Structure 1
């Protein structure tokens, strides 16, 4: 099965595939809800685990005209785990539970402390052609709370189903191995929340055998009207991630992200750290 580094297996450690790194970067940092992987799957009987935390928030928001204005403060600390496991050489299981600490400032502020979104899904590797791969994935996510009594939970109580297509390409930047991952998804949401279109792009390369650098872009477009509890929101975020391989099995990742464009969206900035294990 081909990966971003065709000469190395997914669990080859310092010289191994960056696709697992990309999966963790998305699942633990930039894209908080789905159980999301890269286009490359895993060989049967192999897996990947990640444990991380992200602190994010802001006190400005993009209005309906795209202009920034002060808003009530929002702060969130999220702890999450992420898992991939190869059931067969073409079918992979993914899962992501989380725990949230959320604070919403006045007026009508509130605090939430408890389970976050929990997502599970499966991914099928449909086609491999040389350095390129195509895959499809489906996942469902359940919210940590369905109560609308707490203002700090606003917009985060919907059940979600995510259907996406994934495409990956391995290439080289001079002497450095690199990869490009493109994903497009339609996300169904319950409770009157607008469905969403998600567009995710990641590019990564290894400037050194133990170091992987990535740039990530995520865009969310609402497909329908919002409600007071599920306000309509459009946003684009950019993230940077650095991953250092400590051993053949363990890696440490540090990242940062920010909203660069939005309509009805918070100017959200965050930092993240996570520990990864390949087996």
Structure 2
């Protein structure tokens, strides 16, 4: 998503955008993830697979313009475990394949992260938490030619708030997350905002509407950017311990960012 001198170096910009872009895999679990923490000794694992493509990008004027094609296929694994009722340990990793029309494709590990979420307060249906994550990935040669093969890190601080309620007798929840992510100047620092609305259409079906927004702050040599995505998905509880998810998402607005869309499927395992 971020780019250096995007307008003067479109091919390098696309490589940078593609390498750092990702699809949101809906890891929101009613009352057991997001702002909520897991009970002590309880765990959740989500294995997600998806694909995305982009044949356009939002320019500096926010208008869509064609770019050489880009496709991405990815498998992500997210795991969370309740250390105490108020603290949940979490980790995530991914394997991805990037395809470009103008250059060779790439296959390998994407971003891996480890962190924890601490519940600050819970009163009735309201919950608020704080989360910190360390994210590590192989340095991107498009951003740092001298760092090829080395690891690059990011630190993320996140605040989360959720509220559980009922609509027409159906269980529902709303959640908001805000985060600040920094990579020490290699890429632009990012401000992120995620919103989720979940409704139990049936006791075994959860419908999710989500938005994911990121704003990259301009720095020396780095242009600012932003991207905003909408995602719709459904989660079906096969058993109390096994659920499956399917959905799709699309970028709806942005600046210096890919105009991308994709599909996702996921398997949730509770233990």
Question: TM-score, normalised to structure 2's length?
Answer: 0.83
How far apart are the structure 1 equivalents of 2:195 and 2:91? 21
Structure 1 residue aligned with 2:76:
80
How far does the alpha carbon of each residue in 1:32-81 deviate from its partner, in whole angstroms, 9 at most, with x for none? xxxxx500001000000111111001111111001011001111101110
Q: Residues 254 and 50 from structure 1, CA distance in 2 versus in 1: closer, same or farther, beyond 3 angstroms?
A: same
Instruction: Indicate whether 1:252 and 2:244 are aligned.
Output: yes
- Counterpart among 210, 216, 232 of residue 240 in structure 1: 232
Q: TM (normalized to structure 1)?
A: 0.81
Choose the corresponding residue for 1:270, options 244, 250, 262.
Answer: 262
Residue 209 of structure 1: aligned partner: 203
Q: Which moved more, 1:190-199 or 1:59-68?
A: 190-199
Q: How far apart, CA to CA, are the structure 1 residues paired with 2:75 and 2:178?
A: 26
Helix, strand or coil at the partner of 2:25:
helix
The runs of 4+ residues in structure 1 deviating greater than 3 Å are none
Corresponding position of 1:125: 119
1:43 corresponding residue in structure 2: 39
Deviation at 1:150, TM superposition (A): 10
**Equivalent residue, structure 1, for 2:96:** 100
Residues 63 and 177 of structure 1: CA distance in aligned 2, closer, same or farther (over 3 Å): same
- Over aligned residue pairs, what C-alpha RMSD do you find? 2.2
- Deviation of 1:27 after TM superposition, in Å, equals 8.9
For 2:190, the equivalent position in structure 1 comes to: 196
SS of the equivalent of 1:141 reads strand
C-alpha distance in 2 between matches for 1:189 and 1:215: 30
The aligned residue for residue 219 of structure 2 is 225
Matched, 1:62 2:54: no
8 A contact 2:132–2:155 mirrored in 1: yes
Name the counterpart of 1:261: 253
Residue 15 of structure 2: aligned partner:
none
**Mapped contact 2:217–2:223 kept (Cα < 8 A):** no
Describe the shift of the 1:150–1:235 C-alpha distance in structure 2 as closer, same or farther (beyond 3 A): closer
Does 2:144 align with 1:148?
Answer: no
Counterpart of 1:267 in 2: which secondary structure? strand
Contact 2:119 2:129 in 1 (8 A): yes
SS class of match (1:128): strand
1:71 aligned residue: 67
> 1: CA distance between counterparts of 2:223 and 2:252?
19
- Distance change (3 Å), C-alpha of 1:236 and 1:149: closer
Q: Is the 2:24–2:212 Cα contact (8 Å) retained in structure 1? A: no
1:111-140 superposed Cα distances (whole Å, 9 cap, x missing partner):
110111101100000101111001000001
**Residue 231 (structure 1) shift:** 5.8
Report the alpha carbon displacement of residue 190 of structure 1 after superposing the two structures with TM. 3.6
> Secondary structure of 2:186's partner?
coil
Give SS of 2:105's match.
Answer: strand
269-278 or 190-199, which moves further after superposition?
190-199
